[in-house]
Structure 1
Amino acid sequence: MLQMPIKPMLLSSKEEAFDSEDYIFEIKWDGYRCISFIEKSSIKLQSRNGHLLNRTFPELMEIYKAITGKKAILDGEICYLEQDGKANFSKLQARYGENNPSYNSSIKLIIWDILSYNDKDIYWLPLKERKAILQEIVKEGHGILIPGYIKKHGKKLYQEAAKNKLEGIVAKKLDSPYEFKRSKYWYKIKCWQYTEVLIGGFTEKEAGLLVGKYSNNQLHYLGKVKLALERELTEALFRFLPTLLTDSCPFSTRPVEGDIKWVKPLIRVMVRYTELSKHNTFRHGYVTKIILDNSQGG
């Protein structure tokens, strides 16, 4: 029998959406992964890293009322849902700063899989069978939502996700068992936004770039980003950056980062990201291109 803690099945990545009769496609929810252990009225909410989340999310202490049966282990995501149904990760993240969080009806547990039911492990069953069992024994309500999915048409769902500025979609093989590791049966396909920025600093240890954009003649900081360039290009960039060193921070607000080397903001790059955080910095930011034509200036 499965026992807490367990490692959730993690997604591999694909760059492009695809169609396939062998897969179902779901919206990718932007929240905290949660494995729920339910035994009668006892609830244990486990994070991706094995930590207990019960005190952080008191809204979910009655999810057992949505279960037909005495015991179940469910996989899903805790999200903060706005009125339009979109997940707001920044508002969810703010919950971790609260010592005694009050009840908030916007906190929901999105359930998409079931691993065990009434002392019987079923994680080894094909996904399509687990989905059928999930629909049969778990009902929406008491903080639980069960999202829909579509078969075959991944490209169409991706287009809708991108149009609505969602994080992306997930492709899951219909015959996949549940694996307690990063799996090639499930893929995330993110919806990226792109923008041009200027490099204002770098960190050698993590090969990170501090970037920003000009507004009203000031360079506004937009975050620290990673690089998604070919290795040779990355190495060439980090050989060139020291030739632009300066003693002063070029950003209007000094970033709270350690071991930074400031540079004159002369190199323009393309960054892809999922969204801007509440601090107006990139989430999941990556440099994808060095822009050699710098004629646009700041």
Structure 2
Amino acid sequence: MVAVAESNAPDHSNAAAYGLSIATEPMEAKLAKALPSGEGWQYEPKWDGFRCIAFKNGTSVDLRAKSGKPLGRYFPEMVALLAGLPATDFVIDGELVIEVTGKLSFDALQMRLHPAESRIRKLSRETPSRLIVFDMLMDTDGTPLLDRDLAYRRERLEVFCDGIKADPDHFIISPTTRNLRVAETWLSGSGGDTDGVVCKRIDEPYRSGERAMTKVKRLRTADCVVGGFRYEKDSKLVGSLLLGLYNDDGQLDHVGFTSAIADIEKPELTARLEALRDAPGFTGKAPRGPSRWTTDRSSDWEPLRPELVVEVKFDQITGRRFRHGTKLLRWRPDKRPSQCDFSQIGL
């Protein structure tokens, strides 16, 4: 398991230093069941990586995760690549990915979040990262582009990418289409390097920190805060994680659970969870006792500080809760807990 404790408060102090007058949080997307149709939509593959905003000022480079936390320490080869580009000032939005044996590997990304610099340096040589860029937030002449529409920003991004002539093994521009049928083909073929399609309005500005885009996945997934856990029956090992999403009032509501935890991971995970025990766990709707479907679990649960984020697969939502248990897909150390709210699933 990979998990990085982090504050709910974003760190975007880098924005002013790189010529932007506002805090630049990534524009995010809300989940939809189908691709939107009609004029004015741009479709892009949804890449399976770490969201990354890259700032460059002179030879100084800063990489920021979706949470606002710095990423440069973990991807020194990307810092070096951007520092060496002929363009000296820009801000771009993209996705950091790592390819292993011809496929993008999210596990390889998570392995980079390691405390030992020697380990990071070794991995950066063995499995170098690639930045797939899809938006430009500040032009090379220092002009902020946040208020310009996507069509203009994309044009400037294409000019930028043509001019720098970066190594395509490590830096590429994401493909786009305005053809719904092509986007449907991308969606039907997702599940490997991509996990869906992102849909953007070409006439819209960059709405920093807002869920102003639409994403459609073959699998319905959500990023949830782990607000508590239950032990297995007659055991001191974790049996299930209790999941939460933030409501409109900023309170963490319990929305379901996942018990899809491998036995080999339970001892280490239990120790990590026990170190985070702290009431109340859920500040909104809290878990209840066992239902007729969970009679083999204790009604007691352990509250946690809201620091861990997991991505889970779910089938249906009823009454702002997952109707059934979810499947744990992966841990999301790159996401800030406060970003896990109901709006990501369209509620």
TM range (shorter): 0.5 to 0.7
Query: Is 1:192 paired with 2:219?
Result: yes
Q: How does 1:186-265 map to 2 (within 5 A)?
A: 186-192=213-219, 202=240, 206=244, 207=254, 208-212=256-260, 238-241=290-293, 243-245=295-297, 259=302
Q: How does 1:60-75 map to 2 (within 5 A)?
A: 60=78, 61-67=80-86, 69-75=87-93
- Of 173, 179, 186, the match for 1:152: 179
- 210 and 171 in structure 1: CA distance in 2 versus 1, 3 angstrom threshold: closer
Which string of whole-angstrom CA distances, capped at 9 and with x for unpartnered residues, describes residues 207-257 of structure 1? 4434359xxxxx969999xxxxxxxxxx9995324644479xxxxxxxxxx
Q: Give the letter aligned to residue 121 of structure 1.
A: P
SS at match of 1:149: coil
- 62 and 178 in structure 1: CA distance in 2 versus 1, 3 angstrom threshold: same
Q: Give the letter aligned to residue 132 of structure 1.
A: E
Tell me the residue number matched to 2:307. none
Tell me the residue number matched to 1:89. 106
Contact 2:243 2:258 (C-alpha < 8 Å) held by counterparts:
no
SS at match of 2:189: helix
Q: Residues of 1 paired with 2:130 and 2:43: CA distance? A: 21
- Give the number of the structure whose residues are more often helix, by fraction: 2
SS at match of 1:20: coil
- 236 and 287 in structure 1: CA distance in 2 versus 1, 3 angstrom threshold: farther
Percentage identity across paired residues of the two chains: 20
- Of 133, 137, 141, the match for 2:160: 137
Contact 1:22 1:152 (C-alpha < 8 Å) held by counterparts:
no
Tell me the residue number matched to 2:34. 16
Q: Residues of 2 paired with 1:53 and 1:205: CA distance? A: 26
Q: Give the letter aligned to residue 134 of structure 1.
A: L
- Computed over aligned residues only, the root mean square deviation of the Cα atoms, in angstroms, reads 3.6
Which string of whole-angstrom CA distances, capped at 9 and with x for unpartnered residues, describes residues 126-183 of structure 1? 1111111111112452532211111132322211225x57311111111111011223
Q: Give the letter aligned to residue 47 of structure 2.
A: W
Q: Residues of 2 paired with 1:156 and 1:150: CA distance? A: 11
SS at match of 1:150: coil
- 259 and 178 in structure 1: CA distance in 2 versus 1, 3 angstrom threshold: same
Q: Residues of 2 paired with 1:95 and 1:16: CA distance? A: 34
Tell me the residue number matched to 1:121. 144
- 131 and 245 in structure 1: CA distance in 2 versus 1, 3 angstrom threshold: closer
SS at match of 1:6: coil
Q: Residues of 2 paired with 1:210 and 1:110: CA distance? A: 32
CA drift of 1:27 comes to 0.9
Contact 2:31 2:215 (C-alpha < 8 Å) held by counterparts:
yes
Tell me the residue number matched to 2:204. 176
- 236 and 95 in structure 1: CA distance in 2 versus 1, 3 angstrom threshold: closer
- 242 and 36 in structure 1: CA distance in 2 versus 1, 3 angstrom threshold: closer
CA drift of 1:40 comes to 2.4
Give the aligned length: 237
Q: Give the letter aligned to residue 166 of structure 1.
A: T
Further displaced range: 98-107 or 54-63: 98-107
Q: Give the letter aligned to residue 211 of structure 1.
A: S
Contact 1:37 1:73 (C-alpha < 8 Å) held by counterparts:
yes
Further displaced range: 9-18 or 204-213: 204-213
- Of 312, 315, 318, the match for 1:284: 312
Contact 2:136 2:154 (C-alpha < 8 Å) held by counterparts:
yes
Tell me the residue number matched to 2:229. none
CA drift of 1:42 comes to 1.4
Which string of whole-angstrom CA distances, capped at 9 and with x for unpartnered residues, describes residues 30-50 of structure 1? 222211111222111122222
Consecutive unaligned residues in structure 2, runs of 5 or more = 1-18, 222-231, 233-238, 245-253, 270-286, 304-309, 317-322, 326-347
- 82 and 150 in structure 1: CA distance in 2 versus 1, 3 angstrom threshold: farther
Q: Residues of 1 paired with 2:258 and 2:31: CA distance? A: 25
- What TM-score, normalized by structure 1, do the two folds share? 0.67
- 3 and 49 in structure 1: CA distance in 2 versus 1, 3 angstrom threshold: farther
SS at match of 1:91: helix
Contact 1:13 1:189 (C-alpha < 8 Å) held by counterparts:
yes
Q: Residues of 1 paired with 2:36 and 2:94: CA distance? A: 23
Contact 2:220 2:315 (C-alpha < 8 Å) held by counterparts:
no
